[in-house]
Amino acid sequence: MSEATFTALRAQLEQAATTFADGPRTLEGILLGMVDDVDRAVREPLEIFPVCHHSPASALAMARRLREKQPKVVYLELCEDMAPLLTELRNCRLPVAVQAFATEVDGFPADWAPLSVVAPVTEASAEYQAIAYALDTPGVELVLVDRSSDHVFQWQEPEAEAPDGADPDAPPAEEEAALHGDAVGVEIGDLRPRFAELEEHLLRHGKVRHWSEWWHQYVELPLGGSDHDTYRQVMFLIGSLFRRLAPGGSRRVRVDEDRERYMWTRMREHLAGTGTDPADCLYVCGAFHAASRVEEFGVGGSAGFEISPRTDTKWQYGLIPSSHAAIEAQFGLAAGSVSIAATEWAKNLKRTRVKPYRLAGQAGTRKPARTAAPPAPMADTPPADRLTGFLQRPPVLDPLDEAELLGWSVEIVRAARRNGYLASTADAIAVFETSILLAGMRDRAKPTPYDFQDAAVTCIEKESVPGRRDVRRLAEIMMGGDRIGQVGYDALPPLARDVHDRLAPLNLRLQQRGVQRALLDIASQPELAKCSDVLWILKYLMPHGAARPIMGERRLGEKSIQESWDLALGTHQRALIELGYEGVSIEQVLEQRLRRTAYDPKATAATVLRAVEDAVLHLRSRRLADELGTRALEVLAQERSVDGAPEVLRRVRGLLAYYRTNEPVLPGWVESFVKTGHAHYCTLLPTAFTDEDATVRQVAAMFGFLFSMESLALSLGCDRTQLELAVAQSHPREPDKTALLWAAQTQLGRLSRDELRARCADLLGNPLVVPAYPRYLSGFLHALEPVPQLTDFVVEAVSNAFAELPDPVLLPWLPSLITSLRSSGSELAPLLIREAGRIFPGRLDALDTWVPPWRAQAAPAAALGSGRPGSPAALSLLAAHPAACDSLAALLGCEGTWDEPAPTGVALLARHPGTATALEALLTPS
């Protein structure tokens, strides 16, 4: 291109700057600088092809240029370490995303893990056209030149930032929009003004709502049928405009310039190493980078940029499903814009008859028809100035396609009816006319899909949305829908393929999206037990809903004979693929996660015991269970609080019962855990009674551990005196903990039932203590966990409270009673209900004459005096009625005769006077 190519354009822009800015000042520098950027990019010997991300105009121009030029090397702006994955695109249904994933980081902050980088690919993108051409054309080399995934995070600031283009205040995304998760997106050809005032100016004067609509109206449509030179120069001009108006000195601009230096350095290295002629190459990059002003720009640029080495982080690579909504959410595009771009791509292909490139065997695409041999590459001719004519040419008025608009109007009414709207034919006519009216108000000869969406919302949307989707969402679906990609079986990692193979006996299409019901009759088909094992592990590893049990459960010592599952592995394909980055089988991944949970610095004894239980349930690994159990013993010995005591008690009981019924002997770590737990909780017991942060439920769980495992602990060498001393040193100040202590003393034999009953009677008889009596009852309720033998006494105490407490005290206490029963209802409520059903009469008419057993037994007990075994009253009763003892002796095979009752009192002294005489001599002074 000669020096005078853009002379006329420079003169016109200089004159415009003088007119609008009252003199050649800053505006002239910006306008002429834009022309210089275009001139510089066009002059570059290595042809630069500027693109916009997921732009049908860019894809169309790319397909046309590749057939004309047929380059031997294609340089693509994409992470260079993702190159081996691109061949797997032929096994997928687009859109999908190329992903780099790292679970363990080395060289980055630990709180950044896991690291994830994705680059989505759609069919209506110039990048896919370049990839398909390079991979299916013999002799063509595809070279990725952008920074590696490791450098993406090397150049990231320490503080967490939202992905470029994302709105931090946006509402949560739907399931389809979350397919990329929290991954960092690689922007291939991102074009969006970074100067907020410029974007606001363009939207206001373009009479559009958002940037995607402006781009569709003023760039996509004009460039859809333009020639190659016009397309390149216009995209260079747009990239230069946005680049020169971007805020200077920001971190993002600095990173962009480093990326440009990185890419040009890689391209010069490849050209020097292979000896390829730059004229036979094509460089595909974003228009923003095409108008670069760095010194390293071009084949002849400086070579002073040094690329830093990668860290020791181990990256895993794979393909994950993507969707139009996920791309829009990640890159800040308007909802439905990618779907509209796909529709526009199909229309452009039909209109221009350009044959796009598709990977051979690409899933979801039609088999291309046989065509003649590709034409010979055309000789490149120096392009002329296309910008001047393009900028001066008035917009081409696209005639209204009434049939297309009428079809849209009828279809949106039909969709609205299916979703509960009371739409009619009149609404279809209104949508048709309103679309034309809105286009006229916005200076458009033809309604765009965005005009149609606004018209549909205006005419059909009412005060409320009757169905799951509103009219705007229905219009987006109708215009192309949220197309969701799928990774084919051959492109899945080994773990995902292994899961599909092991679940093959279910005869389900597991790669299909949506929920499928799986029925497992394990009793009649024992081979399905292996499928059940896989499903339970998937339930543990994958998000909620991927594998959800409907019938059947897995507990220690139990086996299901029938199970029913809802499976949605196709919907959660991304999560299954990312499991493949952690190991080669789901058992290995589960074992790694259990170890990670157990050895976490913040792990508690309860969480480690849960990991032990999961290892027994899902892996049936005695080795792993013993290892994690030993870790639980270490964590328990280091704990200084009782927060996890309830869960520790529940899980230790379950594991102890399992090993007692399934193993010949208890594992060594279980015995050690019981011994350590006994000493540990005895030590913490006095402190827990006075600690305000320790709840009565936690203290009751400690007693539950000590009492329920006391026999095992004593057999292993523990001392009961330690427990008695701990109880003696406990001095609670709160009523509920005091009642719990009384229950523990009763269990240890330090407090009798009569004394406990007398204390409760004293509480009810003291007017100062009556308001706090419900808290004592709460303590007795929690005491049922460690001392279930007190169930009848608790029923008695609660009955006395209902009988004697005044209403101002009783009624406010009832909610707390219900709350206590609900929190521990699975263990406490059945005990109380069962005991109350045994004590209380079963008929309503018997309630009037019913006498509580604790009151009926009071009189006989007082008349008999002390009825303890060995007392005189008991011996006299046995001597008066010897038949019962004779029958029991005969049953046991004992023989003997009845002796006279031993003398007592004065009779005993008369028969044995020696003791009294010795005592008299001792007491008589000499």
pLDDT in tens, 292-324: 888 888 888 787 788 888 888 888 888 888 888
CA distance 760 to 777: 10
| pTM to 2 decimal places | 0.70
CA distance 577 to 556: 30
| DSSP one-letter string for 630-683 | HHHHHHHHH----TTHHHHHHHHHHHHHHHHHH-SS--HHHHHHHHHHHHHHHH
CA distance 544 to 357: 39
Residue 914 belongs to what H/E stretch?
A: helix 914-923
State the amino acid at position 905 in one-letter form.
G
Q: Give the rounded distance of the alpha carbon of 212 from its chain centre.
A: 30
What would the two tokens of residue 310 be? 């990668």
Instruction: Compute how many other C-beta atoms are within 10 angstroms of the C-beta atom of residue 792.
Output: 17
H helices of 691-752, in order, are 696-708, 710-715, 720-728, 735-748
CA distances from 716 to 508, 617, 671, 674, 790 (A): 53, 27, 7, 9, 28
Determine phi and psi for 429, rounding to 5 degrees. Answer: -65, -40
Cis peptide before 853 (omega within 30 of 0): no
| DSSP one-letter string for 115-131 | EEEEEEE-TTSHHHHHH
Tell me the residue length of the chain.
Answer: 926
What's the confidence (pLDDT) of residue 141? 92
CA distance 588 to 568: 22
What would the two tokens of residue 831 be? 């005990």
Question: pLDDT tens, 860-898?
Answer: 544 444 444 555 556 667 777 788 888 888 887 787 777
| DSSP one-letter string for 834-868 | HHHHHHS-SSSTTSSS---HHHHTHHHHHHH----
CA distance 608 to 629: 7
Mean pLDDT by 10 residues, the chain (926 residues): 56 58 56 76 88 86 90 92 89 87 84 85 88 91 91 73 42 55 59 63 72 77 79 84 68 82 90 90 88 83 83 88 82 79 82 86 58 49 62 58 82 86 88 87 79 87 74 75 79 89 90 88 90 92 90 86 91 88 89 92 92 91 90 90 89 90 89 91 91 89 90 88 90 90 90 88 84 85 87 86 82 76 67 82 79 67 48 66 82 76 67 80 75
CA distance 603 to 610: 11
CB 95 within 8 A of CB 122: yes
What's the confidence (pLDDT) of residue 609? 93
What would the two tokens of residue 862 be? 């007082």
Cβ density class 600-636: b for 16+ within 10 Å, e for less:
eeebbbbbbbbbbbbbbbbbebeebbbbbbbbbbebb
CB 284 within 8 A of CB 127: yes
CB 92 within 8 A of CB 162: no
Half-sphere exposure of 244 (CA within 13 A, CB side): 20
What would the two tokens of residue 121 be? 């690919």
CA distances from 7 to 13, 238, 386 (A): 10, 19, 12
Determine phi and psi for 226, rounding to 5 degrees. Answer: -80, 165
DSSP 8-state symbol, 717: T
Of 635, 589, 585, residue with least CA distance to 610? 635
What's the confidence (pLDDT) of residue 5? 61
State the amino acid at position 495 in one-letter form.
L
What's the confidence (pLDDT) of residue 864? 46
What's the confidence (pLDDT) of residue 503? 92
Assign 476 to helix, strand or coil.
helix
H helices of 375-521, in order, are 387-392, 402-418, 425-441, 449-460, 471-479, 494-502
What's the confidence (pLDDT) of residue 567? 92
Q: What residues contact 354, with CB distance under 8 A and at least 6 apart?
A: 60, 63, 64, 67, 348
Determine phi and psi for 358, rounding to 5 degrees. Answer: -135, 140
Assign 472 to helix, strand or coil.
helix
Instruction: Compute how many other C-beta atoms are within 10 angstroms of the C-beta atom of residue 35.
Output: 23
CB 835 within 8 A of CB 853: no
Contacts of 593-596 with C-beta under 8 Å, sequence gap 24+, read: 593/541, 594/624, 594/628, 595/628
Assign 824 to helix, strand or coil.
coil
What's the confidence (pLDDT) of residue 19? 55
Q: Give the rounded distance of the alpha carbon of 791 from its chain centre.
A: 43
Question: pLDDT tens, 131-176?
Answer: 999 999 999 999 999 999 898 888 876 544 444 444 434 444 455 5
Determine phi and psi for 775, rounding to 5 degrees. Answer: -70, -35
Of 467, 463, 439, residue with least CA distance to 453? 439
